[in-house]
Amino acid sequence: MNKEKRREILTRLRDNNPNPQTELNYSTPFELLIAVILSAQATDVGVNKATDKLYPAANTPEAIAALGLDGLKHYIKTIGLYNSKAANVIKTCQMLVELHNSQVPENREALEALPGVGRKTANVVLNTAFGWPTIAVDTHIFRVSNRTKLAMGKNVDQVEEKLLKVIPAEFKVDVHHWLILHGRYTCIARKPRCGSCIIEDLCEFKEKTSD
């Protein structure tokens, strides 16, 4: 894909949604961090249902650590993989208290050292809580980037590297949200809705649908 086309895609996505937001509910960097840990292989809607009850009861590292494993599981048992996620969240809360003065560190290495936090989660937190121009490549971004040919790669790391290289600076902070939302609602996995896609004439996918 050439530069002009890429810029036009990004301009249209921006015009369509100038201030994109995550669909996870949160009000502090800590709440966002925990929500992202819980969201692995789960839907944002499912995570929000759980955190809407959890956060009024406990929304600091101390308070969640004090719930203990069983206390936390009570709130998140509707989310897939909740046993291992509960263990990771409790350990993460303990580390935040002991090592980071109960704050979420604005630092990639420190974030990735927390249990349950990999590169993708660190990218989301750095981007969404702290405004870094990081791009967290999830299944939606991977699919949209490859289908459109915006940034092609065989795995999420390759796509992230390519996106970081080709996305102009002015779009970098928000591109992660635009591509996730586009993948979630329009360029969906099973059957993309090319007929109602705002970048249909620019996308280089060969098997477009008329839906």
Summarize as ranges the residues that interact with ligand SF4 (CB under 6 A): 147-148, 186-187, 192-194, 197, 199-200, 203, 205, 208
Q: How far is the CB of 7 from ligand SF4 (least distance, A)?
A: 16
Using alpha carbons, select from 32, 52, 21 the residue that is nearest to residue 103: 32
Smallest separation (angstroms) from ligand SF4 to the CB of 107: 35
**Cβ distance to ligand SF4 smaller for residue 102 or 186:** 186
120 noted as active-site residue: yes
According to DSSP, residue 116 is labeled T
**How near is the Cβ of 182 to ligand SF4 at its closest, in Å?**
7
Amino acid (one-letter) located at 179: L
Helix/strand/coil for 145: helix
Q: What is Dmax (Cα atoms) for the chain?
A: 55
Task: Indicate which residue of 5, 70, 73, 138 is catalytic.
Answer: 138
Amino acid identity of residue 91, one-letter, is K
In the three-class reduction of DSSP (H, G, I as helix; E, B as strand; rest coil), residue 11 is classed as helix
Kindly state the smallest distance separating residue 191's Cβ from ligand SF4, in Å: 9
CB nearer ligand SF4, residue 130 or residue 205: 205
Q: Which residue among the candidates 73, 85, 120, 162 is catalytic per the annotation?
A: 120
CA angle 158, 30, 80 (to 5 degrees): 65
Is there a contact between 143 and 137 (Cβ–Cβ < 8 Å)? no
What does the alpha-carbon distance between residue 93 and residue 86 come to, in Å, rounded to a whole number?
11
Q: Which is nearer to ligand SF4, 14 or 208 (CB)?
A: 208
CB closer to ligand SF4, 96 vs 167: 167
> Annotated catalytic sites, by residue?
120, 138
